[in-house]
């Protein structure tokens, strides 16, 4: 016998979470209307709709200028933090990637395939590594700073790894990496 709750549990996909770690954060006035569902603490690119309202969609190419989507999570009772995402048609808070901005995100991956991605492969997060947003996976790819992934050099927005967060109570079970905008 099947139930809706069982279906929801079996189809559950966790969404990215994060935190802003900078005192001064510059945001886009009035936010931007999303053209698609987008996870929090990933990069988006901006545009306009027919009425002149700002729109945002997931970053499509590393060479495009990106902006951090960092909407406050509005959760209902008993929802986990990783159930939150920014829905198509919603207005969301957009943060400018000013130099020195620090944030944490669970949307990251390691460059574990130097053959496909270029650069040296890595197996763990270390301070001083570099990162760029990978539009194909919708995650920040972390690379060795001495031999980064090929797309890192082509990326308009580049980041340095400040550290990782292992306090699972604080992160509510999510592994996170702290990045700083270069």
Domain ranges of the chain: 15-181
Q: Report pTM.
A: 0.88
pLDDT at 95: 97
pLDDT bucket at 174, cuts 50 / 70 / 90: confident
pLDDT tens digits along 50-89:
999 999 999 999 999 999 999 887 667 777 777 788 899 9
Contact 154, 136 (CB under 8 A): no
Contact 70, 41 (CB under 8 A): yes
pLDDT tens digits along 9-32:
666 677 788 888 888 899 999 999
pLDDT at 93: 95
């Amino acid at each position: 016998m099947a139930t809706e709750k069982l279906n929801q549990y079996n189809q559950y996909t966790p969404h990215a979470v994060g935190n802003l770690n900078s005192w001064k954060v510059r945001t886009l006035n009035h936010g931007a209307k999303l053209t698609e569902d987008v996870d929090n603490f990933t990069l988006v690119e901006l545009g306009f709709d027919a009425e002149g309202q700002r729109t945002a969609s997931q970053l499509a190419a590393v060479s495009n200028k990106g902006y951090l989507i960092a909407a406050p999570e509005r959760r209902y009772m008993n929802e986990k933090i990783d159930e939150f995402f920014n829905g198509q048609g919603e207005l969301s808070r957009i943060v400018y990637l000013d130099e020195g901005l620090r944030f944490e995100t669970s949307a990251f991956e390691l460059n574990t395939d130097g053959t496909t991605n270029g650069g040296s492969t890595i197996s763990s997060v270390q301070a001083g590594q570099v990162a760029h947003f990978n539009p194909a996976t919708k995650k920040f790819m972390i690379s060795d700073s001495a031999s980064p992934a090929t797309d890192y050099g082509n990326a308009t927005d580049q980041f340095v790894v400040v550290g990782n967060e292992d306090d699972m109570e604080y992160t509510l079970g999510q592994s996170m990496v702290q990045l700083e905008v270069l």
